[in-house]
Structure 1
Amino acid sequence: MDFGCSEVKVWKEALSAYQSRIQTLSLTKNKPNLISLDEFYCNQLPSILRQRNPNPFLTTSELSSLMQWKLTRGKWRPRLLDFVSSLDDAVVKSASEKAFQSLPDVSEAVAELTVLKGVGPATASAVLAAFSPHLTPFMSDEAMEAALGNSKDYSLKQYLKFVDKLQMKAKELSSESDSFTPSDVERALWSYAVGKSSSPQSNQDPKTKPIKSSKRKRKN
């Protein structure tokens, strides 16, 4: 599935396969916690954040679980988990509260979060995506590779380009009957890439061009 593909059906199929990809990855890559971590990140955390009105915030424990999800779904880097797990709760609460209040200014929101040790733009994007999936997608390697052709640049500048591309794609795919968020686009791209790498033949869509690069390093 090429990023330029405009067939809504193809994108919906990739997105609908997301959960099965998570389950397959947890089994084939020996990541038994991935299913529960993904449930926390995709369903529980957004609900928790929405309930904290009028000033939503994140706790150190929640940030630690989010980091576990990010590293388990991508490349495991234990030092990052150690860094965020040792952060003072008041500091995490303050930084996340300021970041959420900064939206829709994505640049400012990322800047507020990256003052935290162990939190770069990629982790900041995961925090923001949990709070505002309609605005800010997670900066996954697979989606970065598909949208920008590069999954090695984790700068704020690159993330802002990524946000623009996925917002435009979500708008393109949405209609009265179908609604896509930038986060939906990211998960569809991730799902397709993971499915293709695990079973190349069954995931080759004859209607779309294949993603050119098959070498996709998960380096979050």
Structure 2
Amino acid sequence: MELDFECTDLSIWKEALSSYKSRIQSLNKPNLISLDQFYTHELPSLLRQRNPNPFITTAELSRLMQWKLTRGKWRPRLLDFVSSLDDSSVQSVSQKAFLSLPDISKAISELTVLKGVGAATASAVLAAYAPETAPFMSDEAMLAALGSSKDYSLKQYLLFVEKLKSKSKELSSMDDSFRPSDVERALWSSAVGVKLQSSQTAPDKKIKGSNKRKRKH
């Protein structure tokens, strides 16, 4: 059963979050496991090492985009745009964005001047550096939190952030830290788990259906 955003049972949220890695593996998408390792572990570490003036490089942004598109919907043109960006511009723009935090609106606006970088990609950049402040704007989490994943505007992202921060605060009050980015991953993991389950049971339903039709004749 898919995780309900209004659920207040911390154990259910923790179970969904702990299933994240196995869901990544279950998708069987080329390079997704290594890309997710880069995004969730290597990139945050690299960004923290660059304090007090953190930045992201074009090569790192390109890998982040690969992660985003492989974990979600594949849109190769976005990857082409990002991969061809001037490295000094990416470093300068991302540094301004990171230093703008915790002003999320300003940070997103700084990043979206880069070609191919919309609010969703910008949110992924910020989430890698500040997971406690700016969660990634995934379709699955947007759908769970706001009931729609069609609007990728800054305004919609700010609503999304408020919802996830509120849920994060609620869950953290029960136990240890549950960051807004943890809320996003738990929602994504749950939604993907449901999709994987339904895709596995679909062939069985077809077989049963065809058997019924045969019996009728």
Partner of 2:146: 148
Partner of 2:72: 74
Query: Do the aligned residues in 1 keep the contact of 2:81 with 2:116 (CA within 8 Å)?
Result: yes
Identity percentage of aligned residues = 73
Whichever residue aligns with residue 178 of structure 2, its letter is: F
Q: Deviations over 1:133-177 (max 9, x none)?
A: 001000000000000000010000000000000000000000373
Q: Deviations over 1:105-155 (max 9, x none)?
A: 000000000000000000000000000000100000000000000001000
SS of 1:143's equivalent?
helix
Partner of 1:130: 128
Higher helix share: 2
Partner of 1:4: 6
Partner of 1:101: 99
C-alpha distance 8-123 of structure 1, shift in aligned 2 (>3 A)? same
Query: Do the aligned residues in 1 keep the contact of 2:120 with 2:137 (CA within 8 Å)?
Result: yes
Q: Any residues of structure 2 matched to 1:27-38 within 5 Å, and which?
A: 27=28, 31-38=29-36
Whichever residue aligns with residue 43 of structure 1, its letter is: H
Structure 1 residue 180 corresponds to structure 2 residue 178: yes
Question: Residue 201 of structure 1: CA displacement?
Answer: 11
Q: Work out the CA distance in 2 between the residues paired with 1:96 and 1:61.
A: 13
Q: Work out the CA distance in 2 between the residues paired with 1:201 and 1:167.
A: 32
Partner of 1:215: none
Q: Work out the CA distance in 2 between the residues paired with 1:86 and 1:141.
A: 26
Partner of 1:214: none
Question: Residue 54 of structure 1: CA displacement?
Answer: 1.4
Whichever residue aligns with residue 21 of structure 2, its letter is: Q
Whichever residue aligns with residue 78 of structure 1, its letter is: P
Q: Work out the CA distance in 2 between the residues paired with 1:137 and 1:177.
A: 20
Partner of 1:198: 196
C-alpha distance 201-112 of structure 1, shift in aligned 2 (>3 A)? closer
Q: Work out the CA distance in 2 between the residues paired with 1:73 and 1:90.
A: 28
Question: How many residues are paired up?
Answer: 198
The structure having more radius of gyration, on CA atoms, is 2
Whichever residue aligns with residue 131 of structure 1, its letter is: Y
After superposition, the CA RMSD in angstroms is: 1.3
Question: Residue 200 of structure 1: CA displacement?
Answer: 4.4
Q: Work out the CA distance in 1 between the residues paired with 2:156 and 2:10.
A: 26
TM (norm. structure 2) is 0.89
Question: Residue 178 of structure 1: CA displacement?
Answer: 2.1
Q: Work out the CA distance in 2 between the residues paired with 1:131 and 1:43.
A: 11
Partner of 1:206: none
Q: Deviations over 1:73-121 (max 9, x none)?
A: 0000000000000000000001000000000000000000000000000
Structure 1 residue 14 corresponds to structure 2 residue 13: no
Query: Do the aligned residues in 1 keep the contact of 2:10 with 2:174 (CA within 8 Å)?
Result: no
Whichever residue aligns with residue 129 of structure 1, its letter is: A
Query: Do the aligned residues in 1 keep the contact of 2:81 with 2:115 (CA within 8 Å)?
Result: yes
Whichever residue aligns with residue 196 of structure 1, its letter is: V
Q: Which runs of 5+ in 1 are unaligned?
A: 203-220
SS of 1:199's equivalent?
helix
